[in-house]
Structure 1
């Protein structure tokens, strides 16, 4: 057993040292628990350490993509732009880690491979790839929703003689594209960002698109001293406002349906949001975009019109137009994506009509027999979202049942926080919580604080074991599913549904009822004495 450096027996082990793991470590120490965070990476920062491809930015504005618990951190850190680039977000994580003196209780280069529950000791035995082990009372999975890269199921990837790189594993030294022919597979958020950044740098960029994405202009700009001063001075009311909105974002909530206003007013409202920039603001123009097909179509068609206006070649423009409902997949935020397709050195390859047959030594060969020679091939193929990092570890609860077995039909949790049959294990922003449908920093803070309060309450009662009850979990999963069915989310084969991973159960994973509804549900569970949890 590895103990804390000060010799105390370990109370809490936190797997992950990104934003969730960092705040969890701070909160556990603040509550008097002996805590340690471990991470497979060689630096803190989580997804913002592993992802460093050109053009990477957060789609939540920097002033909001920040911890809210510390006025000192808020007042000392100065964001430079409206939408923060990856190096600045990683610098912020490092700043917080140093400010809170977190590094002394973080062990890096520790890839966790197993976590087994021992009922006799009421502790977990957690083991790393290198053979280190820990036996904490409480196990916190802060592994992130988008942290396990998904590689495409395309034959021949290993044959490619050029430079092959996944956007989620971009080398720190970078990838040289100047004067080279570059192929990009994938047009989700990562693909949109990296394509925009590489257009004009590569000699020729070929974007292989299967499913077009909706992407909204960021309208990024440099933040001024006045911007930052206003935010700090008015933070209490801005924060209170954000907590009333579905995504925990300082915009809206919308008051009307698109169907309640005249067409000219619809157009004016959408133009205003389009010019202001940002996906949360734009898709929140009307209050039923995610629920009403007719309202959604009005918003979707507005974006398609903008694409047709922007892209000069009519055939390319039509290929770039999505035809599913907007906001049922992750809506991207861009800094000139559609414009790159007006360049002679950028081409769009439609692999929905002519699929990629194989990767060859020289490049990509399509089903039609057409082969494109490439020097660099970039895979922007996303992640095994929400469950990938959890199922990559051999987690075994009561009676040796594995999490893979428990989730064979899809993830089942209580509140996205706990799993029946897995005592003393908590999942931060797990499946069944708003997580990826919200400003994830707010969801992280809510979960960490809820868990901390729970552990403090258990300690006060002299208890050392807590577990979600099967019936409560069943009711919550039903609630998650019923809530999703009332929306348009289930109409799209998205990563929210696990649809991009062969063999993954096709169930809607996040809670689509909005952050305020979710927070109220969690608060109600506590008010009723942690109803739905068995304590011992």
Structure 2
């Protein structure tokens, strides 16, 4: 492929897990002309951008990878139970080289706008290089957590020190040795970053608005026996991740919390705590379905926090958690709570003393001023919709995505948007996305998109677009599925967009489980894509089935 080419069968925006696999399937399986546009200076998606101290995956390494190729799975060898940023990036570079993908990827190219040309039945994509590229199919593979959320705190521009967002960390790193660092945010990223920053900085002050649960990751190097086991049991592991609701390599227990007495329950929690990681939430089936059941896990973790943290004030602030366990993203950590036992670490409760402004020399709350040399914003992302909205997408009849989603995202299956023909969104709002082990969801999405395009080419169909009534029905199902869990009960969750001022409050990910979602998508494809309009004459039935019907395997 030459950078001078401007017309393609397909353009893919993003070169992370999704973009790489989508390129492979469209180019090498279907024989299409394809180009990938990546804004970062290299491939890797979120793992190219997120280089903050302690950046690490919370899925186990032998499942946080591609499963489409047994050969690639067995050729690559992970070094730790939970892979760090640098190792994941090396893995993606290995895959790109193994499949000869780089020749069709343009890095350092930002999409500044894309509009659908109805008369020409094509997408016209503009870039910051002044290019105007055209394609039949446009696929967004921009990730769910790639649009940094920097809070609008008065005075930031006047701060005389340095400040960074964890999702935009300099590639050359940041020298924190001996410096006074303030970290704002204690979500998954902040929980990973704080222990590492504390080990480098002269002093770390953590500013916490919302206390959070966390379970120890128990990360460790993989021994040769474990590495051999993963390679020899590829088929079994692939089967587990593809059928479990959350796409992880372990089954969720069938027992419920009150199927056992308190002594047995505490023993099971203790065993899961020692095992570590996300397996903790799999110890009982009903932790996200019953407030009473969830309270037993929540109290167990709060008690652990109070045992670990020596200072009673810090322990009280850290364990004053106001939401059910795992109703927000459930972090896993390495020595997070232990970090607050260090002499050089302090904790500020922003609920007791909110930030008033950032001064020239630090952060002023309603109670005190904290002198700082560096401010680290571990404040997350404009999740799921943010990365798509910033692409400047305009669909049929001049409809912008901002207008289409003014009241919140509307999609069919999280894969397509009414009014935007031939546009596919990988792990978009309305799909399981952030609630599952993402490479597993990505593979399913990419394969479905590829099969859909193959279907169109075989039958001479030039356009596919979901009907609004189908998207509305799917949105109702997403809402109904979420309502069967505790997740929508957290008003400050980014699953609802609550971390971004002015963002519509809509529960975005699909909670029905990866297995159930996969079955629904397969059913729709097998029935000739009901709910979609194919070209302007082919009209399959508007909706495939009652999505809430028990024909599909349920999952939380």
Which TM class, normalised by the smaller chain length? over 0.9
Q: Distance in 2 between matches of 1:215 and 1:428?
A: 29
Residues 292-329 of structure 1 show CA distances to partners (whole Å, capped at 9, x for unaligned) of: 00010001111001001100112211110123101111
Distance in 1 between residues matched to 2:408 and 2:507, nearest whole Å:
9
Cα offset, 1:7, TM superposition: 6.3
CA contact (8 A) 1:4 1:35 kept: no
Counterpart-to-counterpart distance in 2, 1:246 and 1:513: 8
Q: Which residue of 1 aligns with 2:284?
A: 286
Partner of 1:36: 35
Equivalent runs, 1:20-419 vs 2, <5 Å: 20-30=18-28, 31-279=30-278, 281-321=279-319, 322-368=321-367, 370-419=368-417
- Contact 1:4 / 1:34 at 8 angstroms: preserved in 2? no
Q: Which residue of 1 aligns with 2:489?
A: 491
Superposed CA deviations along residues 352-387 of structure 1, whole A, max 9, x for unmatched, are 11001000110000012x111111111111100001
Further displaced range: 3-12 or 155-164: 3-12
Q: Is 1:458 aligned to residue 456 of structure 2?
A: yes
- CA distance in structure 2 between the partners assigned to 1:296 and 1:268 by the alignment: 16
Give the total of aligned pairs: 532
2:16, 2:534 → 1: CA distance?
Answer: 29
Give the gaps of 5 or more residues in structure 1: none
What TM-score results when the alignment is normalised by the length of structure 1? Answer: 0.98
Q: Determine the structure 1 residue equivalent to 2:430.
A: 432
CA contact (8 A) 1:434 1:510 kept: yes
CA-based RMSD of the aligned residues comes to 1.2
For the 8 Å contact 1:8–1:34, the answer to whether it is kept is: no
Checking the alignment, whether the CA contact within 8 Å between 2:272 and 2:283 is kept in structure 1 is yes
Distance in structure 1 (CA, Å) of the matches to 2:314 and 2:534: 59
Distance in 1 (CA, whole Å) between partners of 2:172 and 2:64 is: 27
Between the aligned partners of 1:81 and 1:509, the Cα distance in structure 2 is 32
TM-score (norm 2): 0.94
For each residue in 1:398-440, what CA deviation from the matched residue of structure 2 results, as whole angstroms up to 9, or x when unmatched?
A: 1000111010110010000000110000000000000000000
For residues 229-279 of structure 1, give each alpha carbon's deviation from its aligned partner in whole angstroms, at most 9, with x where no partner exists: 111111112221222211011112211110211111111111111111102
Q: How far apart are the structure 1 equivalents of 2:7 and 2:132? A: 13
CA contact (8 A) 2:215 2:277 kept: yes
- Does the 8 Å contact 1:114/1:126 carry over to 2? yes
Distance in 2, Cα, partners of 1:253 & 1:381:
30
Find out whether 1:16 has 2:14 as its counterpart.
yes
> Which deviations, in whole Å up to 9, do the C-alpha atoms of 1:141-185 show, x marking residues without a partner?
001000010001211111111111111111122111111111100
Query: Is structure 2 residue 516 aligned with structure 1 residue 522?
Result: no
Q: C-alpha distance in 2, partners of 1:206/1:75?
A: 44
Unmatched 5+ stretches in structure 2: 536-556
Could you tell me how far apart the structure 2 residues matched to 1:436 and 1:517 are?
A: 16
Partner SS, residue 422 of structure 1: coil
- 2:312 and 2:236 map into 1 onto residues whose CA distance is 47
